[in-house]
């Protein structure tokens, strides 16, 4: 059946003016059962690899759904956000026990990411799909680059910062040599980058952990462990802001979201258990390879307007 | 540091919050799983068509609609309820953080946290606007 006939009656008020009606590649439909099992399997692998490599599985869910299963980008974004909330909240309990999370930094920056997420959700309906695909491809490429280059722990600064002092953001974190104090730098710049992280999270259905860590690690100069755990603290909240909006807008389909959520969650939980056994270097290479292939295909689809 | 001993209570609160998050995800996943099994039993053989966006029907995109669907044991509504619980979990975390700052009488962060909570509730309750 061709798409044009279906499309005529299907344009809801919330859908974008650029609905891509001309493209319908999936001419032999799968059954719901087959679809659910395949998507759950793929999501499980994404969650497992994401948790083992520390890169997060959320970033490959949308490309998997759109490129492999030909799911519309909006449904894919809705399902991906749900899985991001599940893994972020599931992992948070393990992190907080260690005492690394800086709650003040997290909640302050959540103002920026939440506003960003609501803005992103508001403009998502007016953003052409091809632009979203290009943006996605660039984020995937950036993720691959960051995962190839080894992260270096930077020297901790204890020079006081005006904003950090006023907002009492400076803290300590546990190290082998006892609790180490650190000072938070460049608060307004970090806040601004977090706003962008929030927009990206809503537009692309990802956790934007990579942008969040960049802001906290590189700009605000938090210790590595503090920035990763605080970023995880924030990812669930940011995703919840846009997921709430998308639920009302009809982007969250139960049949697509359930295999994604359960698959990613189980994969991430298993990943956390076998973390010591698996070889992270090799896995990282595999995951990076997958991300690069997806980036290339997303960019191609974006520039040819075929997503 | 300006407060006398904020770290200790911050940490204790985070422990509780961490447990709450785990519990929220567990309950949400169970509800989703029950709904998913029902859904596959009822509609497992139906062909899927997701390459064109139709948007969800009203019953699956408003909180009232989802609750009504759950009352009549509709599998899709049960999955959606689980997803709603999942979305509510980080929001509950922010609400608990607000309580913690209230107990610490930290006015600046009570205001900051209240703002985040208001934005989240706005998205969840009035997302259509």
User: What pLDDT score was predicted for residue A176?
Assistant: 80
Domain residue extents for chain A: 32-304
Distance from CA of B6 to the nearest CA of A (A): 10
Residue pLDDT, tens place only, B23-53: 899 999 999 999 999 999 998 888 888 888 8
User: What pLDDT score was predicted for residue A205?
Assistant: 92
For residue A32, the surrounding DSSP H or E stretch is helix A32-53
Which residue is closest to B113 within chain A, CA to CA?
Answer: A107
Question: Distance between CA atoms of A72 and A64, rounded to whole angstroms?
Answer: 11
Size of interface A-B (CB pairs under 8 A): 242
- What does A54-84 look like in DSSP terms, one character per residue? TS-SHHHHHHIIIIIT---HHHHHHHHHHHH
Q: A109 contacts in B (CB within 8 Å)?
A: none
Interface contact flag, A247 B18, Cβ < 8 Å: no
| Residue A152: CB atoms within 10 Å | 7
pLDDT confidence band for B11 (50 / 70 / 90): low
Against a cut of 0.80, is the pTM above it? yes
Determine the average pLDDT of the residues in B63-84: 93
User: What pLDDT score was predicted for residue A213?
Assistant: 82
Distance from CA of B63 to the nearest CA of A (A): 9
Interface contact flag, A110 B11, Cβ < 8 Å: no
Residue pLDDT, tens place only, A162-204: 888 888 888 888 888 888 888 888 899 999 999 999 999 999 9
Asked if A102 and A230 count as a contact pair (C-beta separation under 8 A), the reply is: yes
| Residue A273: CB atoms within 10 Å | 9
Q: What is the mean pLDDT of chain A?
A: 83
Optimal mutation site among B43, B87, B100, B110, interface A, most CBs of chain A within 10 A: B87
Question: Distance between CA atoms of B119 and A16, rounded to whole angstroms?
Answer: 24
Task: Determine what percent of chain B is predicted with pLDDT higher than 70.
Answer: 88
Q: B50 contacts in A (CB within 8 Å)?
A: 69-72, 75, 253, 256
Facing residue for B127 by CB, picked from A74, A248, A262: A248
Sign of CA dihedral B55, B56, B58, B63: negative
Query: Is pLDDT at A158 greater than 70 in this prediction?
Result: no
Determine the average pLDDT of the residues in A30-53: 90
Interface contact flag, B91 A237, Cβ < 8 Å: yes
Question: Distance between CA atoms of A111 and A108, rounded to whole angstroms?
Answer: 6
Question: Distance between CA atoms of A297 and A70, rounded to whole angstroms?
Answer: 13
Flag whether residue B22 sits within 8 Å of chain A, measured between CB atoms. Answer: yes
Query: Is pLDDT at A157 greater than 70 in this prediction?
Result: no
Question: Distance between CA atoms of A267 and A259, rounded to whole angstroms?
Answer: 12
Flag whether residue B128 sits within 8 Å of chain A, measured between CB atoms. Answer: yes
Flag whether residue A261 sits within 8 Å of chain B, measured between CB atoms. Answer: yes
Determine the average pLDDT of the residues in B69-84: 94
Question: Distance between CA atoms of A23 and A25, rounded to whole angstroms?
Answer: 6
Distance from CA of A174 to the nearest CA of B (A): 12
Query: Is pLDDT at B73 greater than 80 in this prediction?
Result: yes
User: What pLDDT score was predicted for residue A88?
Assistant: 85
Flag whether residue B74 sits within 8 Å of chain A, measured between CB atoms. Answer: no
Domain residue extents for chain B: 16-126
| Residue A299: CB atoms within 10 Å | 18
Residue pLDDT, tens place only, A2-37: 333 333 333 334 444 444 444 445 456 789 999 999
Reading the block at residue A32, the tokens are 């719901």
């Amino acid at each position: 059946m061709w798409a044009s006939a279906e499309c005529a009656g299907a344009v809801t008020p919330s859908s974008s003016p650029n609905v891509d009606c001309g493209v319908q590649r999936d001419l032999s439909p799968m059954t719901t059962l087959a679809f659910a099992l395949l998507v759950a399997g793929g999501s499980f692998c994404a969650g497992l690899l994401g948790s083992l490599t520390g890169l997060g599985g959320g970033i490959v869910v949308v490309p998997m759904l759109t490129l492999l299963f030909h799911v519309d980008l909006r449904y894919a974004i809705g399902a991906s956000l749900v899985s991001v909330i599940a893994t972020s909240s599931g992992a948070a309990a393990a992190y907080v026990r260690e005492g690394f999370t800086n709650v003040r930094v997290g909640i302050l920056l959540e103002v920026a990411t939440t506003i960003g997420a609501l803005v992103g959700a508001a403009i998502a309906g007016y953003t052409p799909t091809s632009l979203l695909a290009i943006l996605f491809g660039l984020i995937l490429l950036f993720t691959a680059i960051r995962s190839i280059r080894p992260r270096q722990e930077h020297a901790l600064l204890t020079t006081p910062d005006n904003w950090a002092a006023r907002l009492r953001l400076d803290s300590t974190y546990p190290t082998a040599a006892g609790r180490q104090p650190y000072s938070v730098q460049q608060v307004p710049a970090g806040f601004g980058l977090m706003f962008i992280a929030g927009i990206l999270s809503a537009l692309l259905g990802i956790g934007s952990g990579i942008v969040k860590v960049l802001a906290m690690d590189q700009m605000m100069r938090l210790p590595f462990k503090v920035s990763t755990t605080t970023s995880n603290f924030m990812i669930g909240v940011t995703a919840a802001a846009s997921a709430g909006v998308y639920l009302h807008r009809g982007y969250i389909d139960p049949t697509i979201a359930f295999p994604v959520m359960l698959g990613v969650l189980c994969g991430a939980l298993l990943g956390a258990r076998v973390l010591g056994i698996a070889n992270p270097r090799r896995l990282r290479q595999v995951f990076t390879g997958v991300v690069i292939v997806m980036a290339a295909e997303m960019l191609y689809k974006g520039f040819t307007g075929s997503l | 540091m300006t407060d006398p001993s904020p770290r200790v209570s911050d940490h204790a609160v985070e422990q509780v919050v961490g447990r709450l998050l785990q519990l929220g995800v567990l309950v949400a996943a169970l509800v989703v799983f029950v709904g998913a099994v029902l859904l596959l039993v009822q509609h497992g053989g139906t062909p899927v068509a997701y390459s064109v966006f139709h948007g969800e029907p009203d019953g699956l995109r408003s909180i009232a609609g989802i609750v009504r669907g759950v009352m009549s044991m509709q599998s899709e509504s049960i999955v959606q309820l689980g997803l709603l619980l999942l979305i509510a979990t980080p929001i509950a975390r922010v609400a608990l953080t607000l309580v913690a700052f209230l107990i610490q009488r930290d006015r600046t962060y009570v205001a900051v946290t209240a703002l985040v909570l208001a934005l989240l509730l706005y998205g969840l309750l009035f997302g259509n606007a």
